[in-house]
Structure 1
Amino acid sequence: MPERDALTSLHRYTRLTLLATVPIIGLAPLLVSMGNEPHWTRLAPLVAGTAVLVPVHWRRVVRAVESPATVPPWRPSAVTLALSAVLFCYAYTYGDPGNVMWIFLPAAPVAELQFGRSPSVGWRLTTWLAVGAGALVALLITFVPPLSGRNPLPAAAVAMFVLATLPFGELVALRQWRIAIELDQARRDAAELGATRERLRFAEDLHDILGHALEVVSLKAELATRLGEVDAARAHAEMAEVQRLARAALRDVRELARGQRHTSLATELSGARTLLASAGIECAVDGADAGGPHSELLGRVLREAVTNLLRHADTRHCWITVRPSALTVVNDGAAPEAPGNDNDSGTGTGTGTGLAGLSRRVTEAGGTFRAGPGERPGTFTVEAVL
């Protein structure tokens, strides 16, 4: 993917930039000292210290690039900072008097102390260390006999500037790389969340289709079994209806998989009347299809309500009220413990997934949803207002 290629390129750029810059900056003071031709006996400690401190910082930068969000332990960097400060004092007072560039070595562990930390904490630490380094340089120039009489202010200012700004390059590159990783992770999380929400939506739609269809098929198959011995013609007709319903459910599932399935309140209202009549339930409908722009959602509410009353209640009467962007379904014969609630066990207890999913969808559409005992004893009401 282009995004992954860009992330890989940024990682390569960050790694090469930092790993190439660290040796250049670390060796610059030593090269300047060698150019001034000091005594080699004085230069030996500087060579040894640079040979140790620069590779150590180089390895820590490698780890920081690979894990930019990880905060490394501060003690190794503190030890390196102390050794670098000692080497700086030696270089400034005995090895190469006047070469303030050796402040580069203490600046490296200062940057390490900020790896993985928030900018506010890191720059507060840098400020204090820069002020301390400037004060140290001023004291060295002022009170150390080989350098006494020299103006300490310019050298102290240079030391403070270097110690405050040199870590900036490393930290900016590392934080840019860290932000890129976090943005990429956020993008992947958003994609995963979108896929999860789509799976939940598909599961709810599948629950609506198969739950309703299987409930109707079960009802008509039971009716056909009862009629088999007393009215063979009607039993045959009911089994033919079972076959039609099964094929219709299969077609709905295929359309759902292709994202082409749509429903409406008018279609569900017609199906509910036929189904309730087949089950011997009197159905009174007040109003016409006035679902308007929410016809599909109200159709889902009606289908779930009818499925519930067939599954969980001993219903004899059902009242359906249709108003502009509103639907109310009331049935009698509800169980007293948790009437009409939809769950997979069919016991009438628990909250179930059907009504919970409808409540979430209606709420997301800016409406209100209620499912619970009705005003009259023994009734259950499902109401959606959009």
Structure 2
Amino acid sequence: MIDTFSANLSLKAYQDVTRWVYVGVGALFGAIGISAGFVSTTSLRWVGLAAVLTTAIVVLSALLWPRRSRFPLLEIGGLLATAGWISAIWSGAPAATGFALFLPLVYGIATRRPWWPWAASTVFALTAAPLIAGLAGALSADGWLANQLVAMSFLGAQVAVFLSIELGWVVFARMDAHRADENELSLTRERLRFANELHDVQGHTLLAIKLKAELARRSLDRDVDTTRAELAEIERLVAEASVQTRQIANGYRTASLATELANAEKLFHAAGIRAEIEQAPAGLGAWEPLIATAIRESVSNILRHATPTAVTLRFSATSMVIQNDGAAVDRETGGGGGNGLRSLQDRFKERGGDVHWSLDGDVFTLTATRSLEGRIP
């Protein structure tokens, strides 16, 4: 309920609501206290005047909330509250007068940090008033203790109301900050997804175009038909890359495993590499696009960073293993793995799988593991 409410209300709007709630509650409590001060026949007129001033000070302070007045307005209100309550005890004013007199102290407890000086001032007013009046012999006899206890219960109710208002603001502000952090995190994730997808598509396609262009150049003088075929393939790859880039931008591109296996075979053949590629098993389910991405990344890394003579790609019940010779110890995908492989590993781990690799001499092995049931959690 609160989260839904906060989602439909801006921080500035809720701040305005809180400000006017403070004003309204302060004015309401003040009106009760002022009425009690002026209606009573026993209380001094000074008590009613103090109640008016403390109410006015809190209303003005609330209008500025959450900012503060440059003038020590609320501090003066705290002094008036103490003096007013001493006068109220002295003259036997009703306990309800405290609704107005204690407003500056209650407002200070709720909105000022540190809050303890305001709480200490409140305790001082409650204890000093009967002490001073008693020493002066001015306690209005019988009901002063009961009156004091009633006033303390009123004060507790005021503190609870004002703290609830302030707590509501604090919770809303934190929820708004949390929502802003979530939005930023979502944007960051989307940028990372876009970067990974763009790396997968453009890096692989540009490498394929480079290999095709080299083959076309070598065939130019001795086999015109091969040159034409490779140039046509380059045109197709460029058009395909353009379509895939638009799909990435629109967020609905998915990798085809059959397409990636066929492309891998074509690229290895064009590069003169002997390749043994198994057909993918059925039942990969939602894992298929991620397995296809792993194959694309592996093929790109092999062609970029190794000089292989043979490549094998095999599937088991839960994994895909691709292995090549001719790997260099210091190449990007060596001991620590390049950015592409580390990103791929993160994407598998997010879905309950894993990617790991090893280098044994010049033989590089990459294993992508999925859950047995083929479902992405």
Q: TM-score, normalised by structure 1?
A: 0.80
- How far, CA to CA, are the matches of 2:269 and 2:206 in structure 1? 17
Bigger shift: residues 144-153 or 354-363: 144-153
- Is 1:110 aligned to residue 111 of structure 2? no
Structure 1 counterpart of 2:152, which letter? M
User: What residue number does 1:100 align with?
Assistant: 95
- How far, CA to CA, are the matches of 1:138 and 1:88 in structure 2? 9
CA spacing shift, 1:87–1:131, aligned 2, 3 Å: closer
**Contact persistence 1:291–1:326 (CA under 8 A):** no
Q: CA deviation at 1:181?
A: 3.5
Q: CA deviation at 1:383?
A: 1.1
Structure 2 matches for 1:308-347, cutoff 5 A?
A: 308-338=301-331, 340=333
- How far, CA to CA, are the matches of 1:365 and 1:186 in structure 2? 25
Counterpart among 256, 261, 277 of residue 285 in structure 1: 277
User: What residue number does 2:60 align with?
Assistant: 59
Structure 2 matches for 1:131-280, cutoff 5 A?
A: 133-140=125-132, 142-147=134-139, 149-280=141-272
User: What residue number does 1:358 align with?
Assistant: 344
The Cα offsets for residues 39-78 of structure 1, whole Å up to 9 and x where unpaired, read as 9xx635863x4555333322332344x47xx9x99x9756
- How far, CA to CA, are the matches of 2:321 and 2:137 in structure 1? 97
CA spacing shift, 1:218–1:87, aligned 2, 3 Å: same
CA spacing shift, 1:145–1:88, aligned 2, 3 Å: same
What SS does the aligned partner of 2:308 have? coil
- How far, CA to CA, are the matches of 2:10 and 2:304 in structure 1? 55
What SS does the aligned partner of 1:92 have? helix
- Is 1:14 aligned to residue 18 of structure 2? yes
- How far, CA to CA, are the matches of 2:64 and 2:308 in structure 1? 70
What SS does the aligned partner of 1:201 have? helix
Counterpart among 75, 81, 85 of residue 84 in structure 1: 81
Q: TM-score, normalised by structure 2?
A: 0.82
- How far, CA to CA, are the matches of 1:30 and 1:270 in structure 2? 87
What SS does the aligned partner of 1:366 have? coil
Counterpart among 364, 367, 373 of residue 380 in structure 1: 364
**Contact persistence 1:131–1:160 (CA under 8 A):** no
Bigger shift: residues 16-25 or 300-309: 16-25
Provide structure 2 residue ranges, at least 5 long, that are not aligned to the other structure.
371-377
What SS does the aligned partner of 2:322 have? strand
Structure 1 counterpart of 2:160, which letter? F
Bigger shift: residues 258-267 or 232-241: 258-267
CA spacing shift, 1:6–1:358, aligned 2, 3 Å: closer
**Contact persistence 2:30–2:52 (CA under 8 A):** no
- How far, CA to CA, are the matches of 2:97 and 2:40 in structure 1? 14
**Contact persistence 1:220–1:242 (CA under 8 A):** yes
Bigger shift: residues 208-217 or 218-227: 218-227
Structure 2 counterpart of 1:62, which letter? L
User: What residue number does 1:345 align with?
Assistant: none
**Contact persistence 1:359–1:369 (CA under 8 A):** yes
**Contact persistence 2:85–2:129 (CA under 8 A):** no
Q: CA deviation at 1:195?
A: 3.1
- Is 1:35 aligned to residue 24 of structure 2? no
Bigger shift: residues 244-253 or 130-139: 130-139
Q: CA deviation at 1:130?
A: 6.2
What SS does the aligned partner of 1:16 have? helix
Q: Identity, % of aligned pairs?
A: 28
